[in-house]
Structure 1
Amino acid sequence: MKYFYNIIKADYLQRTRSYSFLITLVVTVYIAYLFVPLHTAKYTTLDVPGFKGAYNSAWAGYISGIMTTVMLSMYGFLLVNNSIKKDIETEVGLIIASTPISNFSYLFSKQLSNFLVLLTITGCTFLVSIIMFFVRGTDYPFVFSAFLYPYLIFAVPAMSLVASMAVVAEVFLDRKSILQFIVYFFIFGFTMASIKIQGADSLITLLDPFGLKVITNSITNAINSQFHTHINDTSFGFIFRGKQDFQVFVFEGVNWQLPFLLSRIVWIGISLALVYFSSFFFHRFDFKQSVSKKNNKPVQLTADLVSDEKEMISPVGISRALLPPLVFDYSIFPFVKTELLLMIRKGNQLLWLVNAGLWIAMFFVSLPIAHSYLLPVLLFLQVIRWSDLTTKEKTNRLHYFSYAAYRPLFRILPAQILSGIIVAMVMALPVIVRYAIISDLFAVVNIINGSVLIILLAVCLGIITEGKKLYEIIFFMLTYSAVNKLPITDYLGGAPHDNHLVYISVLPGLNIILVLVSFIVRNYQSRHI
């Protein structure tokens, strides 16, 4: 029990004390502030055409609770899916492997630490939702249970499941981070699609791990009963709409049914069962490396080799004539070449087959599909190559050498930025070429600006947080929003915009800010090692 508690405590404190967690928490709190907009806002988070909910406790609490559940389930996996990997990298796992703790107890402790991290963020959004209810001030009374129940019934089982899936992904997919992301987001997308497709009376209400179907059914029932209509179309997420007429309906909350409440307990049981099942396949930090038989062949020493070896051992001193000549090269191109090789060789090489397939497909599919869907997905698949562009020196403790090199601020950092941009441009080349052929200059400039933005974002966030988690989360949210054509996060210009000149001038401004911040912070770090 002592080992079990210590692992949970150490893992939780390590995560919550990191810059990436704190910044993620700040971003999440700000998003929580946007979860329940006023009627005058230009967007909505749960849209029913022609209707808007009155800002009472039930509407504020339930919408905030379900938004927190879905959004945190979407990107919370990226935040907590490296707990076992850290033990491997820091070699703490070797110490844990020698303790009496069982595989299930160790994995269960990791699941609980993941769960506590996600609950910490959930608790902060819970407090923000209550504060915003009082700040915005309405004529409706404050009902605490209207805020507590959705977070307790929706968020807690969902966070338990996400925490377990992070552990299961690390056990079965080892350290293949990008493959873990792909599998999880495929499951997440399939689940969300199933929820939207199924009808109100289907079994999906009980099988929904988020509880989204219960909320949408309750809202449509409230509208239909108050206005005697037959509304079935509800949209979920950050939805931007123009000015339109609407009617206000009063939402009194969910009429909880016993089968649904039992299903939430079942989901918690499923999360524990997944951890227990994965414990039978856990490697327990026992990595057997195969040794090549070629290296085990004994070396036959001939008389010539023996005489040569004696000559080499004899102390004849150092001859400067035998040493290679010194060549001074202060350009950044050797660094660019090195960074490119590091990115190309990073990760599973089979992933390049997927990259090549998407890259070739962008030449043949319709241009809007290639621009709006395939290109964002292809760029996101490179997240593990870009996320540590400026953090690998600190991770491998090489920053003592790199910061002491000749003009590192103007040689190493620009080389990292340039190498990342080269990879991004190559990935986006099919779409750029097709737009250039039809002389669509705006689209070409938008793609170039967007590709540069994601590289500079990786550089800036890596330098500031000294980690890669925050960038992976933000990059995923950008990709998810871009695929869903959310105008405000359309960094590649795939969605239609009213004013091209304004849009095309915003991205270069952001890029300039990111470059300045990166150089200023890195300059301070290099002088204060």
Structure 2
Amino acid sequence: MTPLRILFQMIKADYLERVRRYSFLITVLVSIFIVYKFIPSSHESYITLSFHNIRGIYNSDWVGSATAILASMILSLPAFFLVKNAIERDVQTGVGQIIATTPITKWMYTMGKMWSNFVFLMSIVAVLMVSALVMQLIRGESYTVELLELLLPFLYSTLPTIALVASIAIFFESVPLFRKGLGNLIYFVLWILSLRLSTTATHSSQDILGISPILTRLSSGVNARLNHSNGGHISGVSPLRGDLVTYDWTGVLWTMQMFLERYIWLAVAVGIAVVASIFFHRFDLTRSSNISTNGKPREFRNVEPQMKPVPINDSGIKLTPYTNVVHGQSHYIRILGMELRLMLKGLRIWWYLIALVMIVLGLLLPMESVTRFVAPFTWVWPILIWSAMGTNETYHRTHQFVFTAMHPVRNQFIVLWLAGIIVAYLAGSGAMIHCLVAGEWETLMAMAVGGLFIPTLALALGVWSRNSKLFQVIFMLMWYLGPLNKLTVMDFMGASQQSLDQKVYLYYLLATVLLLMLAVIGRVRQVKIATH
């Protein structure tokens, strides 16, 4: 069998296995809903890709370009988490051990997985394309369908972006240091930087997401219709104030030179997949397990195991039954201490030093700087601790021990929730003490609610998804839009005055109660499954 045929069969098998999952169906439905909301009718209270209530008519050029921007900017974040399990899945299912016995080389495997990721994600993009066409007909502002004008923005912008995401996911899976939560955080930072660079890019080498030609053309179209234009730029989503103004947008004048420059990123993606093969362990699990959390090999002594006979008396072995009750009192404090030790186990000294610096800055800096900068970054720092809540039992395969212990919900689960809250309050203690001393009671209340909301969200999502990725994606998006960029509805910790005035934190307090109930229901369900 030729290498190309082997590569094709790998891609085909991996693709079919993925699209048969319920998660793929859910992703498709969510994508359709997002396109539906991103192309609102003229009667909605908001408008997308506009400036001064001016936008293009929903023709093939505008709908295709708008959806392509949406795919490159927004889809590129959850897409990474969707496909960053290709190698891990082969390890868990045992397929990797079979592949290790075949003549498939490391570069061929990583290349196959990269293209498998690409084809899978492009299937979702194809759904977005069809959804854009359907939305053009549903909105009814233009019934003239021009397929080429609708597809070209996707071919220019989205296709290389998806290839980059697919290759970076394989690279992060292959490098031990980036395989877990640290890699997810690094990718999130890269995604934010890509947004910043692409929206202000003046050359294709800076435009990682491939959206600058579309944004520039949209902005020039709007500014040409303003009498006194200051050269403003369009915004993604903004409230509609006043009457809506539309015009016939003719799209971008695409050239072959533009596509050649843009597709350099496709070559970069292939190069990343090749580099990933250097770090790929080829399913040598003894080698991969000898990598510590800091990326350096662990040292093991070659010591022969010593088997000592276990003395057994005539009356047999007596096991001490598990009981957490002495004199009618539960050792909640002891269990809480153990949960905190488990949460903080393995953290490096530099992690504590940075957390301490943030606490000190929260105490000493002016209140405006604390609420605007210090507090948001303080409560994104322990994200890897919170993301493990509700998932450690499944990941370490200790669920059969935990779920069958005495009162697992009352003794362990609630204490786990309290430990997550303590971590939140300790991390934000500097800012909260500053609010207390300064008499900023409403800000203090909002931060207190935020300290409850974050671990409760992590626990609920961890219990039901049994995976830390879902919380990481949702929380990082909420953090980026809310506390960092001051979007009122996403501001769960009162980082903006507008959210405090509207008392948004009260809604998050209600959401915390509902999430806790949902988490308890999920854990009770897990216990019932484990004990029956």
The question of a shared fold, defined as TM-score above 0.5 by the shorter chain, is answered with yes
Q: Which aligned pairs between 1:219-258 and structure 2 lie closer than 5 A?
A: 219-225=218-224, 232-238=231-237, 240-241=238-239, 243-244=241-242, 247-258=245-256
**Using the alignment, how far apart are the partners of 2:466 and 2:70 within structure 1?**
29
Aligned to 1:272: 270
Aligned to 1:503: 504
- Greater mean deviation of Cα atoms: 438-447 or 143-152: 143-152
* Paired residues, number: 511
Do 1:32 and 1:128's aligned partners in 2 also have CA atoms closer than 8 Å? yes
Please tell me the residue identity of whatever aligns with 2:111: F
**Using the alignment, how far apart are the partners of 1:22 and 1:385 within structure 2?**
30
Pair 1:69 & 2:68 matched: no
Pair 1:525 & 2:523 matched: no
Do 2:40 and 2:47's aligned partners in 1 also have CA atoms closer than 8 Å? yes
Aligned to 1:493: 494
**Using the alignment, how far apart are the partners of 1:346 and 1:10 within structure 2?**
38
Please tell me the residue identity of whatever aligns with 1:497: Q
* Equivalent residue in structure 2 for 1:116, among 84, 101, 119: 119
Please tell me the residue identity of whatever aligns with 2:486: K
Do 1:207 and 1:263's aligned partners in 2 also have CA atoms closer than 8 Å? no
**Using the alignment, how far apart are the partners of 2:21 and 2:420 within structure 1?**
25
Do 1:173 and 1:180's aligned partners in 2 also have CA atoms closer than 8 Å? no
**Using the alignment, how far apart are the partners of 1:88 and 1:352 within structure 2?**
33
Please tell me the residue identity of whatever aligns with 2:68: G
Q: 1:481 to 1:498 in 2, by over 3 A?
A: closer
Please tell me the residue identity of whatever aligns with 1:218: R
Query: By how many angstroms is 1:291 displaced?
Result: 4.4
**Using the alignment, how far apart are the partners of 1:185 and 1:399 within structure 2?**
30
Do 1:176 and 1:347's aligned partners in 2 also have CA atoms closer than 8 Å? no
Do 2:376 and 2:495's aligned partners in 1 also have CA atoms closer than 8 Å? no
Do 1:368 and 1:494's aligned partners in 2 also have CA atoms closer than 8 Å? no
Q: 1:365 to 1:45 in 2, by over 3 A?
A: farther
Query: By how many angstroms is 1:261 displaced?
Result: 1.0
Do 1:383 and 1:472's aligned partners in 2 also have CA atoms closer than 8 Å? yes
Q: 3-state SS of the aligned residue for 1:280?
A: helix
- Greater mean deviation of Cα atoms: 42-51 or 215-224: 42-51
**Using the alignment, how far apart are the partners of 1:11 and 1:298 within structure 2?**
40
Aligned to 1:142: 145
Aligned to 2:476: 476
Do 2:45 and 2:239's aligned partners in 1 also have CA atoms closer than 8 Å? yes
Q: Which aligned pairs between 1:352-363 and structure 2 lie closer than 5 A?
A: 352-363=352-363
Please tell me the residue identity of whatever aligns with 2:264: V
Do 1:222 and 1:250's aligned partners in 2 also have CA atoms closer than 8 Å? no
Aligned to 2:158: 155
Q: 3-state SS of the aligned residue for 1:404?
A: coil
Aligned to 2:213: 214
Q: 1:292 to 1:177 in 2, by over 3 A?
A: closer
Listed one character per residue, the Cα deviations across residues 316-344 of structure 1 (whole Å, up to 9, x for unaligned) are 54699x99898642444444333222211
Please tell me the residue identity of whatever aligns with 1:259: Q
Please tell me the residue identity of whatever aligns with 2:128: T
Q: 3-state SS of the aligned residue for 2:55?
A: strand
Aligned to 2:294: none
Pair 1:51 & 2:54 matched: yes
Query: By how many angstroms is 1:154 displaced?
Result: 1.4
What RMSD over aligned residues (CA atoms) do the two structures have, in Å?
A: 3.3
Q: 1:218 to 1:362 in 2, by over 3 A?
A: same
Do 1:223 and 1:231's aligned partners in 2 also have CA atoms closer than 8 Å? no
Q: 1:434 to 1:9 in 2, by over 3 A?
A: farther
**Using the alignment, how far apart are the partners of 2:506 and 2:305 within structure 1?**
67
Query: By how many angstroms is 1:476 displaced?
Result: 1.5
**Using the alignment, how far apart are the partners of 2:357 and 2:98 within structure 1?**
43
Q: Which aligned pairs between 1:99-498 and structure 2 lie closer than 5 A?
A: 99-198=102-201, 202=202, 204-205=203-204, 207-225=206-224, 232-238=231-237, 240-241=238-239, 243-244=241-242, 247-286=245-284, 287=287, 291-292=299-300, 317=314, 328-329=324-325, 330-346=330-346, 350-482=350-482, 483-497=484-498
Do 2:492 and 2:504's aligned partners in 1 also have CA atoms closer than 8 Å? no
Query: By how many angstroms is 1:347 displaced?
Result: 6.0
**Using the alignment, how far apart are the partners of 2:251 and 2:45 within structure 1?**
25
**Using the alignment, how far apart are the partners of 1:90 and 1:342 within structure 2?**
28
Please tell me the residue identity of whatever aligns with 2:218: I
Identity level (%): 26
**Using the alignment, how far apart are the partners of 1:355 and 1:16 within structure 2?**
42
Listed one character per residue, the Cα deviations across residues 238-282 of structure 1 (whole Å, up to 9, x for unaligned) are 3x4462456433211111022211123222111101211332343
Query: By how many angstroms is 1:92 displaced?
Result: 4.8
Query: By how many angstroms is 1:395 displaced?
Result: 2.9
**Using the alignment, how far apart are the partners of 1:488 and 1:234 within structure 2?**
24
Q: 1:74 to 1:143 in 2, by over 3 A?
A: same
Query: By how many angstroms is 1:381 displaced?
Result: 3.4
Q: 1:226 to 1:237 in 2, by over 3 A?
A: closer
**Using the alignment, how far apart are the partners of 2:279 and 2:97 within structure 1?**
17
- Greater mean deviation of Cα atoms: 466-475 or 171-180: 171-180
**Using the alignment, how far apart are the partners of 2:348 and 2:179 within structure 1?**
7
Listed one character per residue, the Cα deviations across residues 459-516 of structure 1 (whole Å, up to 9, x for unaligned) are 2222222222222211121121121111121111212327746523211211121122
Do 2:371 and 2:496's aligned partners in 1 also have CA atoms closer than 8 Å? no
Listed one character per residue, the Cα deviations across residues 200-233 of structure 1 (whole Å, up to 9, x for unaligned) are xx4x245412221101121133234555765532
Query: By how many angstroms is 1:12 displaced?
Result: 4.0
Q: 1:368 to 1:80 in 2, by over 3 A?
A: farther
Normalised by the length of structure 2, the TM-score is: 0.84
Aligned to 1:304: none
Query: By how many angstroms is 1:406 displaced?
Result: 2.0
Aligned to 2:293: none
Listed one character per residue, the Cα deviations across residues 434-471 of structure 1 (whole Å, up to 9, x for unaligned) are 11111112111211212222222222222222222222
Q: 1:92 to 1:194 in 2, by over 3 A?
A: same
Q: 3-state SS of the aligned residue for 1:476?
A: helix
Listed one character per residue, the Cα deviations across residues 159-179 of structure 1 (whole Å, up to 9, x for unaligned) are 001111122223345355343
Normalised by the length of structure 1, the TM-score is: 0.85
**Using the alignment, how far apart are the partners of 2:404 and 2:312 within structure 1?**
34
**Using the alignment, how far apart are the partners of 2:123 and 2:199 within structure 1?**
29
**Using the alignment, how far apart are the partners of 1:290 and 1:364 within structure 2?**
41
Q: 3-state SS of the aligned residue for 1:491?
A: coil
Could you tell me which runs of 5 or more consecutive residues in structure 2 were left unpaired when the two chains were aligned: 291-296
Do 1:436 and 1:444's aligned partners in 2 also have CA atoms closer than 8 Å? yes
Do 2:73 and 2:195's aligned partners in 1 also have CA atoms closer than 8 Å? no
Query: By how many angstroms is 1:64 displaced?
Result: 1.6
Q: 1:283 to 1:323 in 2, by over 3 A?
A: closer
Q: 1:374 to 1:81 in 2, by over 3 A?
A: farther
- Greater mean deviation of Cα atoms: 26-35 or 61-70: 26-35
Do 1:21 and 1:470's aligned partners in 2 also have CA atoms closer than 8 Å? no
**Using the alignment, how far apart are the partners of 1:106 and 1:250 within structure 2?**
48
Q: 3-state SS of the aligned residue for 1:45?
A: strand
**Using the alignment, how far apart are the partners of 1:429 and 1:153 within structure 2?**
48
Which structure has more relative contact order (CA 8 Å, sep 6+)? It is 1
Aligned to 1:97: 100
